Amino acid sequence: MIELPVVSKETEERKRKPNWLRVKLPIGPEYAKVRKLVDENKLHTICESGNCPNMGECWGAGTATFMILGNVCTRSCSFCAVATGRPPEYDQEEPKRVAEAIKTMGVKHAVITSVNRDELKDRGAEIWYQTVVQTKALSPTTTIETLIPDVKGNWEALERMIEGGQEVVSHNMETVQDLYRRVRPQAKYDRSLEELHRIKEFGKRSKSGAMLGLGETDEQIFKLMDDLAEVKLDILTLGQYLQPTKMHHEVIDYVHPDKFEFFKEEGLKRGIKYVESGPLVRSSYHAERHVHV
């Protein structure tokens, strides 16, 4: 049982949602088109499963982040809204449906992610490979970013996941090392760093993301940036953690936009080529900007 922090009255006060977290409502013709496409093709998106605040803006711009290998995860990260449990059989036809949807959307840049399938020997690597290859076949000019899970040290599976021709491969650290037990209990900090190192070794543009507001200190964030610079990370995203439900990890702090700007400078100073940092930033937010870093 993950022990989540008990929040004091004083923090309650500090926790009123500030106005810089106001978001665009998911409405409009483009939004409706994406909605229809996702429903008709029985597709999953992290936009919905993850309660992403930018759904209105992204779908309104005709783009979405598809989630493959189903919408049930074998893990229970305390910040994540995705359902946890024993996933059903995965669908061999899913790569084709995702590739067709991306073709229909006609997006310049497509982002694909997945739940963790720790119960699968190949961690879902073959479905990943097929999804990228079939998307490239139908949309040769569309660049692809794959936000891949923790392969639990199965480096053969990692290679299969990233050899399909995608331009950017991201794997999120999510938080600082000292909060792993409470925020990402089934993951290991050093193992995720190793995964990013191998992505880079494989010649891919590497990307990672973390949330702020879970109780981390500035020093802990600097250490995370130093460790990511060490594995020659290209792109870092930093965004505000938002609590999906009362059952999930509390928001300890709403970090001011100026502080995000400060961390952006600190990341660039440490040699990370591109830092996207702001309260509403998420891994795939404005991801099309990260392709040619």
Q: Which residues of this protein are in contact with ligand SF4, per CB under 6 A?
A: 73, 75-77, 80, 82, 115-116, 149
Angle among Cα 175, 228, 242 to the nearest 5 degrees reads 25
Complex with ligand SF4: residue 149 or 278, whichever CB lies closer: 149
Interhelix angle 29-40/94-105, nearest 10 degrees: 160
- We find the least distance from the C-beta atom of residue 101 to ligand SF4, in angstroms, to be 20
Beta carbon nearer to ligand SF4, 115 or 144: 115
Coil, strand, or helix at residue 277? strand
Alpha-carbon distances, residue 46 vs 69, 106, 153, 228, 284 (angstroms):
12, 19, 24, 24, 10
User: From the CB of 161, what's the least distance to ligand SF4, in Å?
Assistant: 15
> By the 8 A CB rule, do 227 and 215 touch?
no
Tell me the closest approach of the beta carbon of residue 133 to ligand SF4, in angstroms: 23
Residue closer to ligand SF4 (CB basis): 116 or 208? 116
Nearer residue to ligand SF4 within complex by CB, 73 or 110: 73
Shortest separation between residue 2's beta carbon and ligand SF4, angstroms:
12
Contact criterion met (CB below 8 Å) for 170 and 146: yes
Distance in Å, CB of 266 to ligand SF4, minimum: 25
Q: Which amino acid is at 40?
A: E
Give me Rg for the CA atoms of the chain: 18
> Please, what is the minimum distance in Å from the beta carbon of residue 74 to ligand SF4?
7
DSSP classification of residue 88: P
In angstroms, the CA 47 to CA 56 distance is 10
Q: Which is nearer to ligand SF4, 46 or 143 (CB)?
A: 46
Distance in angstroms (rounded) separating the CA atoms of residues 133 and 117? 20
Which residues are paired to 235 by β-bridges?
207, 274
- Nearest residue (CB) to ligand SF4, 24 versus 152: 152
